[in-house]
Chain A
Amino acid sequence: MNDPLIIAGKTYSSRLLVGTGKYKDFAETREAVDAAGAEIVTVAIRRTNIGQNPGEESLLDALPPSQYTLLPNTAGCYTAEDAVRTLRLARELLDGHTLVKLEVLGDPSNLYPNMPETLKAAETLVKEGFDVMVYCSDDPIQAKRLEEIGCVAVMPLASIIGSGMGLLNPWNLRLIIDNAKVPVLVDAGVGTASDAAIAMELGCDAVLMNSAIAHARQPVLMASAMKHAVLAGREAYLAGRMPRKLYSAEPSSPTSGMIAPARGG
């Protein structure tokens, strides 16, 4: 089925984006990314450890930018200023790469997004030519505002980062999806495959996750489960589910031609 995801004018065949944190090593990271079939992978930007393990393999050796679309994030940033600074460095690191994940956090205990700072950072980044995919609260007004600023995708949380609590407010996500002209991705909160399928059935364009895969007992197997869940959810969304008919049972098999006449049929 030809059903590409288009972000900032670029076409992707996978609707599952994955993070690269919390794996036991780079080999497992790579294996999970490939089992997920992900083309876009998020990375964090951090200071080098000066003087420690020179020559050690780096993440970008395991996930070369020539093979994957790297999505640098601003995880750990609590102000617009820090987020913008981080992404300017990321752009230099990745040779002018402009697709980025903006997240500005508000509270270290729940990692909930700080929307005023997120909006401020988004404005600056869009002006500077970044293609901004933005992590946000599941507030349809804020999501619309981010789209108006020029973000290329809005990424509301399903529940808080790393919680694995699933989609806590599917109706808000629906409001965001119905109003958006840019791709909507559920980012954060997915716990297991059914959560990803539900997000896609709601009409999300894609799902971004990290912990649900990395913290599974078998991360690579869960990555594969997520790939199938996203595909299944997308196909179900496109196919259009049957209407819900409470108390109106209708058999799937013929009601006539029974070997013994059924009462009333």
Chain B
Amino acid sequence: MPTVLVNGEPTELATPLTVRQLLERLELQGRRVAIERNGDILPRSRYDDTRLAEGDRFEIIIAVGGG
């Protein structure tokens, strides 16, 4: 089963997942996030058809308070 990096944390997956399913597993469904996969932006329209592969690096970001 694949191990991926999510925001720098190694995450082991019991089953193959799509990005949409990864967000659900992380309880981020319905939240406004943006995702970078292996250094490239992953558009929201691609969450359903993008499958996680061994060694994938994900950055999942949100907006926070800042000046």
Of B26, B32, B43, B67, the residue contacting A60 (CB under 8 A) is B32
Give chain A's interface secondary structure class.
mixed
The 8 A CB mask of A194-230 against B (1 = contact, 0 = none) is 0000000000000011110000000000000000000
A210 CA to B27 CA, complexed, in Å: 31
Q: Is the CB of A59 within 8 A of B63?
A: yes
Q: Are A45 and B61 in contact, CB atoms less than 8 angstroms apart?
A: yes
- How many chain B residues sit at the interface, stated as a range, is 20 to 34
Contact yes or no, A46 B62, CB < 8 A? yes
Interface band, chain A: 35 or more
Which one, B12-20, B33-41, B49-57, is touching chain A?
Answer: B33-41
Determine if A75 and B67 form an interchain contact, defined as CB atoms under 8 angstroms apart: yes
A89/B41 in contact, CB under 8 A: yes
Interface contact A46-B32, CB-CB below 8 Å: no
- 21 residue pairs bridging A and B, Cβ less than 8 Å apart: A21-B65, A42-B67, A44-B64, A44-B66, A45-B61, A45-B62, A46-B64, A47-B62, A48-B62, A50-B60, A55-B27, A60-B32, A60-B62, A88-B41, A89-B36, A89-B61, A92-B43, A162-B67, A209-B67, A210-B67, A211-B67
